[in-house]
Structure 1
Amino acid sequence: MTQPARPLRVVPGPHPPGPAPAHGAEVLDEIGAFVSRFNAFPDQHCVPTLALWYAHTHAAEHFYVTPRLILSSAEPGSGKTRVLEVAQYLVHSPEMTFSTSTAALFRMINATPITILFDEVDAIFNPKNGGNYEDLRAMLNAGYKRSATIARCVGDAKAMNVQRFAVYAPVALAGIAGHMPDTITTRAITIHMRRRAPDEKVEPFKTRHVEAAAEPLRDKLSAWVGSIADGLDDAEPEMPEGVTDRSAEIWEPLIAIADAAGGHWPDTARAACAHFVAHADPHKGSLGIRLLADLHTIYTHRGADRLPTAAILEALYANEEAPWGDLFGKPLDARRLAKELDRYGVKPTVYKADGKTTRGYLATGETGLADAWKRYLPTEPGGSTA
Structure 2
Amino acid sequence: MIATMNPADLGSMGLIADDPFISDDPVGMPSLSNALYGFDPSGLANRIFRLLKRYIGATDDDLKMLTLWIMHTWVFASLYTTPRLLVTSILPGAGKTTLLEWIGHLGAKSEMLSAISSASLLANLADQGYTLLVDEADRSLRKDNPLAADFIAVVNTGYKKGGSRTIQEPDKKHGWKVVRKSTHAPAVFAGNNPDLPADTRQRCIPVFLYPSDEVEESDWEMIEENDAEYLDLRHDLPIWAETAASAIKPRPTLPESVKGRYREVWLPLARIAQTQSGDWLDTVRRLSAEFVEQAKTDADLGLANDSPHIVLLKDIAELWATQWRTCTFVGSQQMCDALAYGNPTQWGDQQPGGFGRLTAKRLASMLKKAGVEASRNRERTKRGYRFTAFAQAWKTLKIWEALKLEPPTPGTGMGADADASDGSDTSDASIGSTLEGISANISKNDSEPERLEHWAATLSTTADIPDWTALSSDQLQAIRKVKHTGLWLNKTTTELSRRGITV
TM beyond 0.5: yes
- Cα deviation for residue 29 of structure 1 reads 0.6
Partner of 1:205: 218
Counterpart mapping for 1:298-317 below 5 A = none
- Cα deviation for residue 131 of structure 1 reads 4.6
Return closer, same or farther for 1:116/1:34 CA change in 2, 3 Å cut-off: same
Structure with the higher fraction of residues in strand conformation:
1
Equivalent position to 2:53, from 33, 36, 52: 36
- Cα deviation for residue 257 of structure 1 reads 0.9
Deviations 1:267-318 (A, max 9, x none): 2222232333332355559x9x99xxxxxxxxxxxxxxxxxxxxxxxxxx95
Provide the rounded CA distance (Å) in 2 between the counterparts of 1:149 and 1:37: 38
Kept in 2, the 8 Å contact 1:142–1:168? The answer is yes
Partner of 1:168: 184
- Cα deviation for residue 324 of structure 1 reads 9.0
1:183 equivalent in alignment to 2:195? no
Return closer, same or farther for 1:177/1:321 CA change in 2, 3 Å cut-off: farther
Return closer, same or farther for 1:140/1:323 CA change in 2, 3 Å cut-off: farther
Provide the rounded CA distance (Å) in 1 between the counterparts of 2:42 and 2:210: 28
Partner of 1:266: 281
- Cα deviation for residue 232 of structure 1 reads 2.7
1:138 equivalent in alignment to 2:169? no
Secondary structure at the counterpart of residue 152 of structure 2: helix
Return closer, same or farther for 1:178/1:266 CA change in 2, 3 Å cut-off: same
- Structure 1 residue runs of 5 or longer lacking an equivalent are 1-17, 291-316, 326-386
Bigger radius of gyration: 2
Return closer, same or farther for 1:215/1:276 CA change in 2, 3 Å cut-off: farther
Paired residues, what number? Answer: 273
Partner of 1:71: 87
Equivalent position to 2:233, from 217, 220, 224: 217
Partner of 2:41: 24
Secondary structure at the counterpart of residue 279 of structure 1: helix
Provide the rounded CA distance (Å) in 2 between the counterparts of 1:237 and 1:115: 25
- Cα deviation for residue 323 of structure 1 reads 7.9
Kept in 2, the 8 Å contact 1:89–1:215? The answer is no
- Cα deviation for residue 245 of structure 1 reads 0.9
Kept in 1, the 8 Å contact 2:57–2:94? The answer is no
- Larger deviation: 241-250 or 212-221? 212-221
- Cα deviation for residue 140 of structure 1 reads 0.9
Provide the rounded CA distance (Å) in 1 between the counterparts of 2:281 and 2:239: 20
Quote the RMSD (CA, aligned, Å).
2.8
Provide the rounded CA distance (Å) in 2 between the counterparts of 1:130 and 1:324: 33
Letter aligned with residue 71 of structure 1 = V
Counterpart mapping for 1:273-352 below 5 A = 273-280=288-295, 282=297, 318=349, 320=351, 322=353
Return closer, same or farther for 1:275/1:221 CA change in 2, 3 Å cut-off: farther
Q: Which has the higher contact order (CA 8 A, sep 6+)?
A: 1
Letter aligned with residue 263 of structure 1 = G
Return closer, same or farther for 1:224/1:122 CA change in 2, 3 Å cut-off: same
Provide the rounded CA distance (Å) in 2 between the counterparts of 1:247 and 1:46: 17
Deviations 1:24-64 (A, max 9, x none): 342111100000111121x3211111110000111011011
- Cα deviation for residue 185 of structure 1 reads 1.0
Partner of 2:272: 257
Secondary structure at the counterpart of residue 58 of structure 1: helix
- Cα deviation for residue 116 of structure 1 reads 1.4
Kept in 2, the 8 Å contact 1:25–1:264? The answer is no
- Cα deviation for residue 157 of structure 1 reads 8.0
- Cα deviation for residue 261 of structure 1 reads 1.6
Partner of 1:15: none
Kept in 1, the 8 Å contact 2:75–2:244? The answer is no
TM-score (norm 1): 0.64
Kept in 2, the 8 Å contact 1:254–1:269? The answer is yes
Provide the rounded CA distance (Å) in 1 between the counterparts of 2:352 and 2:231: 46
Return closer, same or farther for 1:181/1:216 CA change in 2, 3 Å cut-off: same
Structure with the higher fraction of residues in helix conformation:
2
Secondary structure at the counterpart of residue 60 of structure 2: coil
Partner of 1:53: 69
Letter aligned with residue 46 of structure 2 = D
- Structure 2 residue runs of 5 or longer lacking an equivalent are 1-33, 306-347, 357-503
